[in-house]
């Protein structure tokens, strides 16, 4: 999507509703205050957190780019997420309205959450888990998933949540890269009206993870589940019988909190490391600011999976830190019917919804008559995340979901950033459909050219962060050098985000998509290199090139070009399905190419680099662009005339 072109349309803009502006958490004064002294501003935000030892330092950047935030402070993350709300008399407040896909529901109060987190913490201690040990979590969207994350945080044992849609192989890589010895999972979860098993993938993965000692298994679907004697423990037997008393220990602010793997521009996923104090401050503050959160009255819903960073920061951490009431929904938006989300909003009187543009575009396709059947009047703020929201989707979202008076906040951030960095503030900004607008108070972004020169109004370039922020990643797991190379080497003293951006005539920021070989499919980051390496690991494939082609619903769709090995002949009739299944097994169903084309050549430059731009032209069914830098310029004609493939 070419946002720059879209901006010229005479799209309407939307000033904040008067009442919201009057009572807004963030005002122009907040920006002004942060501008005077950003470190003093962050010190002030740190008061959102209860410290067992108050920090006296804010930022230690002496060993840049390795940051320490609030370094001499001490705290316990889980104490901040549950205990302190109970101590403050809010034990009866609902932390989560859990809604299962089949329609079963459970309200979990802060007091109940504290008890269940304590039980799991005691269980993990019994299994020998100590501060610093990594624990893998592979769960459906059920309360036990949240409990597992908070219990790990309570012990200072970094969790490594692996998205439930990832395959056994992806699980192996993550468990082994992080050296996890404990896995928390479930028998399965409900997906599209059916139980979908998870435990068999764990069993398969653990054949290659000899260091894993124990597996805790929550019962969700009740499907037949094999349990390995001496290794596997049912949650109901082992966790639910533990004491509900557990004393939280204090940890230094820089205690590792979690590792979350994300795709980069090479084949190997990066283990993004977040630590405790700064992450908690950054997520609690941004949740309060971007969503104008009023924890006493709001009902907040992040419709994202805990397997992604959005689920970490804004489904688990920030809402619990802020003592908010949230919705946790297990399933898909169209089960058992296409009005499921709106039914949930109606039922729980949700006031703030946070989701991805790809979901909005899907709802647009299904038609506005579906949400019209429900009472959505409780909504007061709509959030968007994952990719630029195109003006059509923004306008539809605001009109049909937000009864035309609800601000839409388009939040730009990354797994690495941990927290929102660019977003309109709902009580201040005049919303422009398609623009992420402005850095949050306290955050410093610029758009620069290739040499790092700061660009001004009306100019396009690369997005950089010019100052550290509290929830920033601290490094990549076991790979400090890759951390430096990926984010801090392109420019001096600036974090390179990998996104293109422009400032419009008013100086507001528009995101223009990735500038590297990373695709964005339904708001999820996918690496071309990772899928290429999955494809070439198939015995029939000699070479593969993957591109992201523009797709109306998912933003980008994965399109693969493969050259078969000479002994594979034409690969057989089912070669396309065979390869798609292979990618699903290697990475997960979400990485399956939408289409695969078998070709005899790939377009390469003289230095051997694949020219993805030309393949994208084919994938998007366009005239092929400039071929003069190709080593053999007839290759494109050969590719086009000999295509074999399909979706």
Closest CA to 51 of 321, 277, 248: 277
Q: Which of residues 234-253 bind ligand WT7 (CB under 6 A)?
A: none
Q: Which of residues 601-620 bind ligand WT7 (CB under 6 A)?
A: none
Give the list of residues 6+ apart from residue 59 with CB closer than 8 angstroms, or none: 39, 42, 67, 68, 69, 468
556 near ligand WT7 (CB under 6 A): no
What number of chain residues touch ligand WT7 (CB under 6 A)?
Answer: 23
358 near ligand WT7 (CB under 6 A): no
Find the shortest distance in angstroms from Cβ 177 to ligand WT7: 18
Closest CA to 239 of 377, 134, 144: 144
DSSP-assigned beta bridge partners for residue 585 = none
**Are 216 and 183 spatial neighbours (Cβ–Cβ below 8 Å)?**
yes
Find the shortest distance in angstroms from Cβ 326 to ligand WT7: 17
DSSP 53: B
Closer to ligand WT7 by CB, 76 or 313: give it: 313
300 near ligand WT7 (CB under 6 A): no
Say how far apart CA 82 and CA 320 lie, in whole Å: 7
Closer to ligand WT7 by CB, 218 or 464: give it: 464
Find the shortest distance in angstroms from Cβ 611 to ligand WT7: 22
Find the shortest distance in angstroms from Cβ 388 to ligand WT7: 4
What are the DSSP E strand ranges found in 121-267? 135-138, 159-161, 182-186, 188-191, 194-197, 214-218, 232-234, 251-252, 256-262
436 near ligand WT7 (CB under 6 A): yes
388 near ligand WT7 (CB under 6 A): yes
DSSP 88: I
Find the shortest distance in angstroms from Cβ 436 to ligand WT7: 5
DSSP secondary structure string, 433-476? TT--BSBPTT--EEEE-TT-PBP-TT-EEEEEE-S--TT---EE
DSSP SS3 for 236? helix
Angle between helices 38-45 and 276-290 (to 10 degrees): 90
Q: Which stretch binds ligand WT7 (CB under 6 A): 238-246, 365-373, 520-528, 630-638?
A: 520-528
Residue among 511, 521, 576, 615 that touches ligand WT7 (CB under 6 A): 511
Find the shortest distance in angstroms from Cβ 272 to ligand WT7: 8
Q: Which stretch binds ligand WT7 (CB under 6 A): 55-63, 523-531, 565-573, 623-631?
A: 523-531
Binding mask 251-270 for ligand WT7 (x = CB under 6 A): -----------x--------
499 near ligand WT7 (CB under 6 A): yes
Q: Which two tokens stand for residue 526?
A: 């996918």
Closer to ligand WT7 by CB, 286 or 411: give it: 411
81 near ligand WT7 (CB under 6 A): no
Q: Which stretch binds ligand WT7 (CB under 6 A): 284-292, 441-449, 516-524, 611-619?
A: 516-524
Closer to ligand WT7 by CB, 251 or 301: give it: 301
**Are 357 and 384 spatial neighbours (Cβ–Cβ below 8 Å)?**
yes
List the Cα angle 125/130/135 in 5-degree steps: 85
159 near ligand WT7 (CB under 6 A): no
Closer to ligand WT7 by CB, 497 or 531: give it: 497
Q: Which stretch binds ligand WT7 (CB under 6 A): 8-16, 28-36, 142-150, 406-414?
A: 406-414
292 near ligand WT7 (CB under 6 A): no
**Are 251 and 131 spatial neighbours (Cβ–Cβ below 8 Å)?**
yes
Residue among 114, 514, 538, 540 that touches ligand WT7 (CB under 6 A): 514
385 near ligand WT7 (CB under 6 A): yes
Closer to ligand WT7 by CB, 167 or 520: give it: 520
Angle between helices 528-536 and 575-586 (to 10 degrees): 120
Q: Exposed (0-12), middle (13-18) or buried (19+): which is 435, by Cβ within 10 Å? A: buried
Angle between helices 199-206 and 168-178 (to 10 degrees): 60
Find the shortest distance in angstroms from Cβ 413 to ligand WT7: 4
Closer to ligand WT7 by CB, 286 or 414: give it: 414
Find the shortest distance in angstroms from Cβ 151 to ligand WT7: 24
Find the shortest distance in angstroms from Cβ 499 to ligand WT7: 5
Closest CA to 623 of 606, 637, 604: 637
Quick one: which H or E segment has residue 79?
none
Say how far apart CA 296 and CA 136 lie, in whole Å: 33
Find the shortest distance in angstroms from Cβ 560 to ligand WT7: 20
Residue among 45, 290, 326, 520 that touches ligand WT7 (CB under 6 A): 520
Q: Which of residues 408-427 bind ligand WT7 (CB under 6 A)?
A: 410-415
**Are 580 and 545 spatial neighbours (Cβ–Cβ below 8 Å)?**
no
**Are 92 and 77 spatial neighbours (Cβ–Cβ below 8 Å)?**
no
DSSP-assigned beta bridge partners for residue 513 = 500
497 near ligand WT7 (CB under 6 A): yes
At residue 513, φ and ψ (nearest 5 deg) are: 100, 170
Residues in touch with ligand WT7 (CB under 6 A): 262, 309-310, 385-388, 410-415, 436, 497-499, 511, 514, 520, 523-525
């Amino acid at each position: 999507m070419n946002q720059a072109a879209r901006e010229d349309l005479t799209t309407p803009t939307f000033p904040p509703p008067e009442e919201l502006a009057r009572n807004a958490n963030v005002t122009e004064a907040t920006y002004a205050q942060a501008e005077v002294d950003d470190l003093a501003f962050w010190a002030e935000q740190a008061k959102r957190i209860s410290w067992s030892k108050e920090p006296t330092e804010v930022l230690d950047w002496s060993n840049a780019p390795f940051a320490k935030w609030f370094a001499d402070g001490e705290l316990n993350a889980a104490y901040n997420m549950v205990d302190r709300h109970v101590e403050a008399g809010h034990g009866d407040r609902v932390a989560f309205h859990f809604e299962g896909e089949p329609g079963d529901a459970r309200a979990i109060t802060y007091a109940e959450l504290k008890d269940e987190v304590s039980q799991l913490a005691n269980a993990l201690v019994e299994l020998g888990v100590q501060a610093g040990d990594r624990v893998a979590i592979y769960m459906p969207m059920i309360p036990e998933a949240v409990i597992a994350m908070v219990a790990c945080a309570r012990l200072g044992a970094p969790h490594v949540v692996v998205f439930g849609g990832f395959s056994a192989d992806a699980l192996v890589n993550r468990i082994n890269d992080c050296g996890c010895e404990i896995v928390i999972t479930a028998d399965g979860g409900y997906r599209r009206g059916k139980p979908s098993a998870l435990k068999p993938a764990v069993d398969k993965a653990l054949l290659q993870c000899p260091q894993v000692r124990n597996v805790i298994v929550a019962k969700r679907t009740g499907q037949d589940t094999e349990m390995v004697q001496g290794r596997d423990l049912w949650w109901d037997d082992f966790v639910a019988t533990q004491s509900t008393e557990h004393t939280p220990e204090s940890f230094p602010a820089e205690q590792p909190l979690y590792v979350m793997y994300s795709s980069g521009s090479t084949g190997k996923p990066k283990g993004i490391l977040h630590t405790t104090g700064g992450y908690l401050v950054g997520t609690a503050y941004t949740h309060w600011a971007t969503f104008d959160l009023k924890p006493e009255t709001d009902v907040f819903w992040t419709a994202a999976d805990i397997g992604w960073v959005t689920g970490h920061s804004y489904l688990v951490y920030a809402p619990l830190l802020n003592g908010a009431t949230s919705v946790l929904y297990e399933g898909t938006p169209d089960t058992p019917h296409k009005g499921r989300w709106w039914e949930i909003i109606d039922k729980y009187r949700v006031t703030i919804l946070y989701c991805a543009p790809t979901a909005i575009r899907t709802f647009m396709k299904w038609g506005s008559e579906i949400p019209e059947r429900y009472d959505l009047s409780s909504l007061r703020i709509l959030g968007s995340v994952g990719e630029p929201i195109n003006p059509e989707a923004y306008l539809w979202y605001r009109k049909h979901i937000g009864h035309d008076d609800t601000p839409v906040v388009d939040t730009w951030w990354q797994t690495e950033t941990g927290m929102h960095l660019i977003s309109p503030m709902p009580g201040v900004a005049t919303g422009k459909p398609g623009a992420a607008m402005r850095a949050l108070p306290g955050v410093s972004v610029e758009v620069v050219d290739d040499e790092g020169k700061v660009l001004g109004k009306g100019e396009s370039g690369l997005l950089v962060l010019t100052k550290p922020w509290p929830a920033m990643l601290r490094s990549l797991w076991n790979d400090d050098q890759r951390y430096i190379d990926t984010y801090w080497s392109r420019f001096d003293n600036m974090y390179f985000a990998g996104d293109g951006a422009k400032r419009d005539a008013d100086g507001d920021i528009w995101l223009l998509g990735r500038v590297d070989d990373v695709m964005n499919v339904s708001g999820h980051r996918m690496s071309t290199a990772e899928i290429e390496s999955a494809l070439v690991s198939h015995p029939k494939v000699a070479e593969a090139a993957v591109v992201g082609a523009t797709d109306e619903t998912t933003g980008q769709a994965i399109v693969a070009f493969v050259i078969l090995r000479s002994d594979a002949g034409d690969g057989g009739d089912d070669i396309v399905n065979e390869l798609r299944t292979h990618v699903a097994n290697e990475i997960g169903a979400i990485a399956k190419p939408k289409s695969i084309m078998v070709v005899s050549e790939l377009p390469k430059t003289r230095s051997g680099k694949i020219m993805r731009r030309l393949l994208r032209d084919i994938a998007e069914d366009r005239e092929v662009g400039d071929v003069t830098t190709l080593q053999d310029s007839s290759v494109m004609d050969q590719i086009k005339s000999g295509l074999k493939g399909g979706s």
